[in-house]
Amino acid sequence: MNRLLNLLDKNCRLTNEQLAVMLDTTAEKVAAAIESYETQGIIHGYKAAIDWDKTDREYVIARIEIKVIPMRDHGFDEIARTIYSYDEVETCYLMSGGYDLAVTVSGKNFKDIALFVSQKLAPIDAVQSTSTHFVLKKYKERGVLLAEKERDMREDVL
Amino acid sequence: MIDYDSLLAEKVRQIKPSGIRRFFDIANEMDHVISLGVGEPDFRTPWAIRQAGIHSLEKGHTWYTANAGLAELRNEIADYLERRFQISYRSKDEILVTVGGSEAIDLAIRACINPGDEVLIPEPCFVAYSPITALTNGVPVPIETKAEDGFRLTAKALKEKITPKTKLLIFPFPNNPTGAVMRKEHLEEIAEVLRDTNILVLSDEIYAELTYGSQNHVSIASLPGMWERTVVVSGFSKAFAMTGWRLGYAAAPAPIMKQMIKVHQFAVMCAPTTSQHAAVEALKSCGEEIVKMREEYDMRRHFIVDGLNKLGLTCFNPEGAFYVFPSVQSTGLSSEDFCQKLLYAQRVAVVPGNSFGESGEGFVRISYSYSIEHLMEALKRIEAFLKTL
Ligand SMILES: Cc1ncc(COP(=O)(O)O)c(C=O)c1O
């Protein structure tokens, strides 16, 4: 049923009936599969892919690379929880390589984010250093092109 | 004043312009039309293939290639045909890289046909076979395929049309516009009819990678007694979403190929060099991309067939290509009327079935090389249209 997940990943507004037709199965089976994905935590939610830049909402995001010092009884998972529990944090990944946590933070403007870093992140004991990079433009997000509008350029040939 | 009518070639002047073209000229004049008419993939060429083309330009590979095509590409094609369809061709003198499957069709017909030779053409079918036959002074002989046979060619229908003048059978499966596929057992029946004849076969397998269900495409050339009489035509347009690169190929026994390559050499020299370099990459590394695209088409196929049947436009379940061919007979309209009315009333463009031969009357061709969202909107509009009838 990976194909079901692929379909939902692209468009989670398709009805169970539509999904069933496309996958050559029944709506009941689709409903059961989706429920099972939800209980297993494979499907976490159904969010619209919104390009906030095109709205009048003030919205800035930054990627912050964080180096942390894990301590006894206070490993990466605990530090991550302290960080991702802030609403401002949109994504939080444990990374291999030059730093430990990659965090995406959103705010109304650059200052918001700068304040979040200096007042919320930096003071955390385990946080050794942060490096903040503001996003200037999003080209592609979760497989969807944001920067260029896809237009059907096919001509009628024969 | 020059009287062009009396000057220009009679044979060419007699060719009717494609019915599809005519119809789209109307659609193109209108705003907000949503089309289900296009006969090419909506996918872009996979990026790795485009990169290979770009690299070849950066390296300055801007000359002609050998007439028959890059040796490396011919080797890859030979490997591919063996691997996918168990048909063996020597890359040296049995494979020819062409400007699309289109050129391969043209070459094969020109290499085989003497004036007066009859060419059997199962219809409905792709629009090029008949005019090219006529240009070579051959005689196109349509064979009607029927919805109740799943638009397959039957041995019976074939036998009825064979005469002492029959030279070539066009074998267009998976079929544009019907989506019909000939499975192994169906092929066996046809092979049985042809084996002891002198009839050649042009097997147009351009949609070979787009068959749905558990069974792989079977080439008629893989059946006993068929290889030696068959020209296999295929290409990169549909399988790899490479229509604009204009690249295809033919595979045939050396004696046939020897004639085809002469025409090719004098008509176009060689296929586009950049495209050939890109195609090497396609065959080497893009098997997975094909599978992804096929799965996507398959989901759309289920979606559109179900949707049309629910609207009362019965369509048999196509097993190949990316077209459905529903009947519009329940509306009481001819193919052309249906398409024209649908276009004017709801701005949806589909192609009248009779553009693909008389036996396509009463049907329309709908392409599903469009996103699900696009297909949904089209179905909504078709539903609204049907309610007004
Ligand atoms: C059945 C069939 N054969 C051949 C072709 C030619 O394709 P190309 O010249 O792009 O390879 C087409 C294109 O629509 C087709 O539908």
Judgement on whether residues B112 and B217 belong to the same structural domain of the protein: yes
Judgement on whether residues B165 and B61 belong to the same structural domain of the protein: yes
Confidence band of A158 (pLDDT split at 50, 70, 90): low
Q: What is the DSSP letter of A53?
A: G
CB distance B249 to ligand 1 below 6 Å: no
Q: What is the DSSP letter of A135?
A: -
**pLDDT tens column, B314-351:** 998 999 999 999 999 999 999 999 999 999 999 999 99
Judgement on whether residues A10 and A70 belong to the same structural domain of the protein: no
Judgement on whether residues A60 and A130 belong to the same structural domain of the protein: yes
The 3-state secondary structure of chain B, one letter per residue? CCCHHHHCCHHHHCCCCCHHHHHHHHHHCCCCCEECCCCCCCCCCCHHHHHHHHHHHHCCCCCCCCCCCCHHHHHHHHHHHHHHHCCCCCCCCCEEEECHHHHHHHHHHHHHCCCCCEEEEEECCCCCHHHHHHHCCCEEEEEECCHHHCCCCCHHHHHHHCCCCEEEEEECCCCCCCCCCCCHHHHHHHHHHHCCCCCEEEEECCCCCCECCCCCCCCHHHCCCCHHHEEEEEECCCCCCCHHHCCEEEECCHHHHHHHHHHHHHHHCCCCHHHHHHHHHHHHHCHHHHHHHHHHHHHHHHHHHHHHHHCCCCCCCCCECCEECCECHHHCCCHHHHHHHHHHHHCEECEEHHHHCHHHCCEEEEECCCCHHHHHHHHHHHHHHHHCC
Distance, CA of B82 to CA of B75 (rounded, Å):
11
Instruction: Identify the closest residue of chain B to A24 by CA–CA distance.
Output: B302
Q: Which of B286, B311, B326 is the last residue of a domain?
A: B286
- Cβ contact A21–B303 (<8 Å): yes
Q: Which of B237, B261, B286 is the last residue of a domain?
A: B286
Q: Report the CATH number at residue B296.
A: 3.90.1150.10
To test the pocket of ligand 1, the residue of B107, B126, B132, B323 to mutate (highest count of ligand atoms within 8 Å of its CB) is B126
The lowest-confidence range among A19-28, A117-126, A140-149, B315-324 is A140-149
CB pairs under 8 A between A and B: 42
Q: For position A1, what pLDDT does the model report?
A: 58
Side-chain half-sphere CA neighbours of B371 within 13 A: 12
Q: How many CB atoms sit inside 10 A of residue B74's CB?
A: 26
Indicate whether A14 belongs to any domain.
Answer: yes
Judgement on whether residues B181 and B257 belong to the same structural domain of the protein: yes
Judgement on whether residues A118 and A65 belong to the same structural domain of the protein: yes
Distance, CA of B81 to CA of B233 (rounded, Å):
11
Judgement on whether residues A96 and A125 belong to the same structural domain of the protein: yes
Judgement on whether residues B57 and B196 belong to the same structural domain of the protein: yes
Q: For position B44, what pLDDT does the model report?
A: 94
Q: Report the CATH number at residue A102.
A: 3.30.70.920
Which residue type, as a one-letter code, is found at position A61?
A: I
Judgement on whether residues B160 and B252 belong to the same structural domain of the protein: yes
Distance, CA of B350 to CA of B315 (rounded, Å):
15
Distance, CA of B108 to CA of B103 (rounded, Å):
9
- Cβ contact A157–B42 (<8 Å): no
Judgement on whether residues B187 and B334 belong to the same structural domain of the protein: no
**pLDDT by 10-residue block (mean), chain B, 389 residues:** 92 85 81 91 96 98 98 98 97 98 98 98 97 97 96 98 98 98 97 96 98 94 98 98 98 98 98 98 94 95 96 93 96 95 95 95 97 96 96
**pLDDT tens column, B174-185:** 999 999 999 999
User: Which residues of chain A make contact with B28, given a CB cutoff of 8 A?
Assistant: 156
Judgement on whether residues B192 and B326 belong to the same structural domain of the protein: no
Q: Report the CATH number at residue B254.
A: 3.40.640.10
Length of chain B: 389
Distance, CA of B323 to CA of B199 (rounded, Å):
29
CA distance B209 to chain A (A): 19
CB distance B41 to ligand 1 below 6 Å: no
- Cβ contact B303–A7 (<8 Å): no
- Cβ contact A3–B303 (<8 Å): no
Judgement on whether residues A71 and A103 belong to the same structural domain of the protein: yes
Judgement on whether residues B120 and B227 belong to the same structural domain of the protein: yes
Of B155, B164, B177, B175, residue with least CA distance to B38: B177
- Cβ contact A152–B295 (<8 Å): no
Q: What are phi and psi of A89, to 5 degrees?
A: -85, 120
**B 353-372 → A contacts, CB under 8 A:** 372
Of A3, A7, A158, the CB nearest to B18: A158
**Backbone torsion region of residue B72, taken as left when φ is above 0, otherwise alpha when ψ lies between -120 and 50, otherwise beta:** alpha
End-to-end, the C-alpha distance of chain A in Å comes to 38
Judgement on whether residues B282 and B292 belong to the same structural domain of the protein: no
CB distance B204 to ligand 1 below 6 Å: yes
**Number of DSSP helices (H) and strands (E) in chain A, helices first:** 5, 6
For helices A2-10 and B287-310, what crossing angle results, to 10°? Answer: 80
What is the overall mean pLDDT for chain A?
91
Q: For position B16, what pLDDT does the model report?
A: 85
Q: Which of B241, B258, B286 is the last residue of a domain?
A: B286
Indicate whether A108 belongs to any domain.
Answer: yes
Indicate whether A144 belongs to any domain.
Answer: no
**Residue reference for tokens 């990976």:** A2
Judgement on whether residues A59 and A121 belong to the same structural domain of the protein: yes
Q: For position A142, what pLDDT does the model report?
A: 80
Which residue type, as a one-letter code, is found at position B99?
A: V
Which residue type, as a one-letter code, is found at position B230?
A: T
Q: For position A154, what pLDDT does the model report?
A: 86
Q: For position B215, what pLDDT does the model report?
A: 87
Which residue type, as a one-letter code, is found at position B80?
A: Y
**Residue reference for tokens 């599969």:** A33
pLDDT over 70 for what percent of chain A?
98
Q: How far is the CA of A82 from the centre of ligand 1 (A)?
A: 59
Judgement on whether residues A127 and A75 belong to the same structural domain of the protein: yes
Judgement on whether residues A125 and A83 belong to the same structural domain of the protein: yes
Judgement on whether residues B238 and B253 belong to the same structural domain of the protein: yes
Judgement on whether residues A66 and A131 belong to the same structural domain of the protein: yes
**B 5-44 → A contacts, CB under 8 A:** 18, 20-21, 24, 27-28, 35, 37-40, 42
User: Which residues of chain A make contact with B20, given a CB cutoff of 8 A?
Assistant: 156, 158
**pLDDT above 90 (res A85):** yes
Judgement on whether residues B32 and B51 belong to the same structural domain of the protein: no
Judgement on whether residues A66 and A132 belong to the same structural domain of the protein: yes
CB distance B243 to ligand 1 below 6 Å: yes
In terms of residue numbers, what domain contains A99?
52-136
Q: What are phi and psi of B204, to 5 degrees?
A: -90, 100
Locate B162 and state its tokens: 């064979």
Q: Report the CATH number at residue A23.
A: 1.10.10.10
Q: Please count the structural domains in chain B.
A: 2
Q: For position A144, what pLDDT does the model report?
A: 80
In terms of residue numbers, what domain contains B280?
47-286
Locate B55 and state its tokens: 């690299």
User: Which residues of chain B make contact with A25, given a CB cutoff of 8 A?
Assistant: none
Judgement on whether residues B167 and B191 belong to the same structural domain of the protein: yes
- Cβ contact B35–A156 (<8 Å): yes
Distance, CA of B91 to CA of B254 (rounded, Å):
10
Burial per residue of B235-266, b for 16 or more beta-carbon CB atoms within 10 angstroms, e otherwise: bbbbbbbbbebbbbbbbbbeebbeebbebbee
User: Which residues of chain A make contact with B125, given a CB cutoff of 8 A?
Assistant: none
Q: Please count the structural domains in chain A.
A: 2
Distance, CA of B156 to CA of B159 (rounded, Å):
5
Distance, CA of B35 to CA of A12 (rounded, Å):
25
Distance, CA of B209 to CA of B200 (rounded, Å):
24
Indicate whether A149 belongs to any domain.
Answer: no
**pLDDT tens column, B256-303:** 999 999 999 999 999 999 999 999 999 999 999 999 999 999 999 999
Q: What are the distances in angstroms from CA B180 to CA B42, B125, B321, B366?
A: 21, 10, 8, 14
- Cβ contact B372–A14 (<8 Å): yes
The sign one gets for the Cα dihedral B131, B182, A158, B144 is positive
User: Which residues of chain B make contact with A14, given a CB cutoff of 8 A?
Assistant: 372
CB distance B177 to ligand 1 below 6 Å: no
pTM for this prediction: 0.91
Question: Pairing mode, if any, of strands B166-171 and B351-352?
Answer: unpaired
Indicate whether A47 belongs to any domain.
Answer: no
Indicate whether A116 belongs to any domain.
Answer: yes
CB distance B237 to ligand 1 below 6 Å: yes
- Cβ contact A7–B299 (<8 Å): yes
Distance, CA of A143 to CA of B219 (rounded, Å):
36
Q: How many CB atoms sit inside 10 A of residue B96's CB?
A: 27
Q: For position B308, what pLDDT does the model report?
A: 96
Distance, CA of B346 to CA of B380 (rounded, Å):
10
List the Cα angle A126/A132/A138 in 5-degree steps.
135
CA distance B327 to chain A (A): 20
Confidence band of A151 (pLDDT split at 50, 70, 90): confident
Distance, CA of B124 to CA of B315 (rounded, Å):
15
Judgement on whether residues A33 and A69 belong to the same structural domain of the protein: no
Judgement on whether residues A60 and A115 belong to the same structural domain of the protein: yes
User: Which residues of chain B make contact with A3, given a CB cutoff of 8 A?
Assistant: 295, 299
